[in-house]
Copies of this chain bind each other. A is one copy, B any other.
Amino acid sequence: MQCNLAWVRHAGNVAWVRRAAASSQTRSVMSTPRPQIPEATIARLPSYLRALVDLDGNGVTTVSSTELAEAAGVQSALLRRDLSHFGSYGTRGVGYEVPVLMREIGEHVGTGTVWPVLVVGVGNMGRALAHHGASLDVSFQVVAMVDSNPAIVGTTVAGIQVRDQSDLEAVVAECRPRIAIITTPPEAAQQVCDRVVAAGVSSILNFAPVTLTIPEGATVRTVDLSQELQILAFHEARREPATDADTKELVR
Task: Flag if A245 contacts B205 (CB, 8 Å).
Answer: no
- Beyond A71-B211, A241-B14, is A179–B236 a contact (Cβ under 8 Å)? yes
Please count how many residues in chain A sit with their CB below 8 Å of the partner chain's CB atoms: 90
Determine the chain B residues whose CB is within 8 A of the CB of A32 once the complex forms. 238
Least CB separation from A205: chain B residue:
B228
Instruction: Give the complex CA separation of A194 and B247 in angstroms.
Output: 29
Q: Using a CB-CB cutoff of 8 Å, which residues 1-42 of chain A contact chain B?
A: 2, 4-10, 12-14, 16, 32, 34, 42
Cβ-defined contact, B205 with A232, below 8 A: yes
Stretch in A58-66, A96-104, A217-225 touching the partner: A217-225
Among residues of B, the one whose C-beta sits closest to the C-beta of A34 is B238
- Complex Cα distance, B137 from A191, in Å, reads 23
Q: Is the CB of B179 within 8 A of A246?
A: no
Contact between chains at B228 and A108 (CB < 8 Å): no
A92 interface residue (CB < 8 Å to B)? no
Instruction: Tell whether, in the assembled complex, residue A230 and residue B12 are in contact, meaning their CB atoms are under 8 Å apart.
Output: no
How distant is the Cα of A232 from the Cα of B236 in the complex, in angstroms? Answer: 31
A136 on interface, CB distance cutoff 8 Å: yes
State the Cβ distance, A87 to closest chain B Cβ, in Å.
Answer: 16
Are B205 and A229 within 8 A (Cβ)? yes
Across-interface contacts of A14 in B (CB, < 8 A)? 237, 241, 244-245
